[in-house]
Amino acid sequence: MLRPAYFIALSLLLARSSALRGKHRALPAFIAVPELTAGFDLLYEQKFAEAREAFASWESRNPEDPFGEVAVAASYLFEELYLQGVLTSDFFLNEKKFLHGIDGRPDPERMGHFREALAQASQLAENARKPTRMTARLSLP
């Protein structure tokens, strides 16, 4: 069964990746980035591999930004939710499934990719939080 912890982890990483850069508002979480918007549109259309390609393309030009990996993680999570039938009204109308979760287990390979993307996003966010040596020297009195 997909655990709520996955949803919480993804939400926290989205918030953390955006909040780490302080008052800058020209960030993926605050502006419309055409490539990311196209990727999320592809997720909505259930074209998960194509969405990951869009996210990877953006990520290749923004390698230090954790948002790309968070978007990739989201694509794996939403693909799994789709395949498990969670993104349908039937899931919410079936009291047993809605209250007790999905039957079976998530695909281990897909969830492995999901966890890898979350770990990479977390590492990138942590790296962005740490001051570089140059920044540390510039901020000394």
Asked if 113 contacts 55 with a C-beta cutoff of 8 angstroms, the reply is no
Note the pLDDT of residue 7. 52
CA atoms of 110 and 100, how far apart (whole Å): 22
Note the pLDDT of residue 102. 74
Q: Which one has a higher pLDDT value, 14 or 130?
A: 130
Average pLDDT for residues 36-50, to the nearest whole number? 93
Q: What angle do CA 4, 65, 15 make, to 5 degrees?
A: 35
The residue type of 102 is: I
Note the pLDDT of residue 35. 87
Which of the residue ranges 2-11, 12-21, 94-103 would you say has the lowest mean pLDDT? 12-21
